[in-house]
Structure 1
């Protein structure tokens, strides 16, 4: 029975490794330019009001630090 389990585990490991190689091939086919565009698209959805609030918080923090 242990031989069957070992054999099953080896077969599962081999299939898993093949799947990882396929995934790696797919990911490497993506050009660096496509990756940059994807990152840029993600960052352009910043809410201006939230950004302004964050800047105001940072300015208030530095003002407080200067007073101490």
Structure 2
């Protein structure tokens, strides 16, 4: 009986993985369009490009996020 359950689960897992890959492709395409760069998959980027991507941070957005976290923690501890 376990083998009968394993096959549908495996098929569902494969379908789920395929859907995740499609979603990743769509999100990457949208990100590339927003940045005005040609589509490039993350796997093909070298380490320098990844570091450059990580260093482009909106400081105001980061400060807002920190403020939100601090506010949440203050409320939680009271």
For the pair shown, which has the larger CA radius of gyration, 1 or 2?
1
- Higher helix proportion, which one? 1
Q: TM-score, normalised by structure 1?
A: 0.46
Q: TM-score, normalised by structure 2?
A: 0.40
